[in-house]
């Protein structure tokens, strides 16, 4: 057409789906105080040619009182990368037996672990970076130390030198 010149052309292959199969390591537990547990869960994408996206559900069930709590995290991993998720559960009862289960929305059960909540004398220093060291960046360049309330769309999460893409629906 008139007035247009194509200086460079490149073929781009866009796939509709990546993988939902993630590799997960055994969760690391830290008892923060007599009623709080911190869970560090490393998950990775071992494929070298596909990205991985998954919604992960952390389910903590109190086997003594038969109550449970759930936390959801969405992750996006480029090929051959991993990330460590850090979640906390509060108001746990010392002496109660708990079952922690990690599930992938499309993958099903990934990890199971049982433990007894110790008393306040068995606490350790938390090992996850506090949330204030995490930075979320929206597509318009705005930054926030937390995910904006009711945010829909893509975010970049910068934590401990790693960047993770998060998609909120």
pLDDT digits (tens, 9 = 90+) for 128-169: 654 446 777 777 767 666 666 667 788 887 777 778 888 776
Mean pLDDT of the chain: 82
Interval 39-60 mean pLDDT: 89
What the chain holds in terms of domains, given with CATH numbers, is 17-128 (2.60.40.10), 129-169 (no CATH)
How much is the pLDDT for 112?
Answer: 93
Q: What percent of the chain has pLDDT over 70?
A: 79
CB 97 within 8 Å of CB 114:
yes
**Dihedrals phi, psi of 133, to nearest 5 degrees:** -90, 0
DSSP summary character for residue 139: T
The per-residue pLDDT for 28 is: 92
| Predicted local confidence at residue 126, as pLDDT | 57
pLDDT in tens, 20-42: 788 899 999 999 888 999 999 99
pLDDT score for 131: 46
Task: Identify the pLDDT of residue 132.
Answer: 44
Question: Strand locations in the chain, DSSP E?
Answer: 23-24, 28-33, 36-45, 52-62, 67-77, 81-89, 97-104, 108-116, 135-138, 143-144, 153-159, 162-168
């Amino acid at each position: 057409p008139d007035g247009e010149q194509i200086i460079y052309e490149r073929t781009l292959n866009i796939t509709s789906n990546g993988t939902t199969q993630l590799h997960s390591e055994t969760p690391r537990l830290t008892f923060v105080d007599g009623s709080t547990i911190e869970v560090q869960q490393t998950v990775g994408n071992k494929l070298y040619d596909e990205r991985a996206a998954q919604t992960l559900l952390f389910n903590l069930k109190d086997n003594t009182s038969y109550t449970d709590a759930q936390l959801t995290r969405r992750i996006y991993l480029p090929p051959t990368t991993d990330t460590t998720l850090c979640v906390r559960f509060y108001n746990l009862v010392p002496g109660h037996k708990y079952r922690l289960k990690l599930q992938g929305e499309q993958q099903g059960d990934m990890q199971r672990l049982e433990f007894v909540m110790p008393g306040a004398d068995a606490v350790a220093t938390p090992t996850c970076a506090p949330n204030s060291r995490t930075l979320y960046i929206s597509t318009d360049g705005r930054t926030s130390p937390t995910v904006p309330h009711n945010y829909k769309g893509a975010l970049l999460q910068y934590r401990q030198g790693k960047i993770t893409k998060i998609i909120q629906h």
